Structure 1
Amino acid sequence: MTAKVTLSFTDETIEDARRYAERDGMSLSAWIDQAAREKALRELFNAHADVVRRAGHDRLEKHALDDAREVEMVRSEFRGRRAAQR
Structure 2
Amino acid sequence: MNPVTDNVARQRFELVEEGKVAFSDYRQHGDVLILPHVEADPALRGRGTAGRLMEGTMQIVRERGLKVQPVCGYAVAWLQRHPEYADAVE
TM-score of the two chains, using structure 2 as the length reference: 0.30
Larger relative helix fraction:
1
Q: Whose Rg is larger?
A: 1
Name whichever structure is richer in strand by fraction: 2
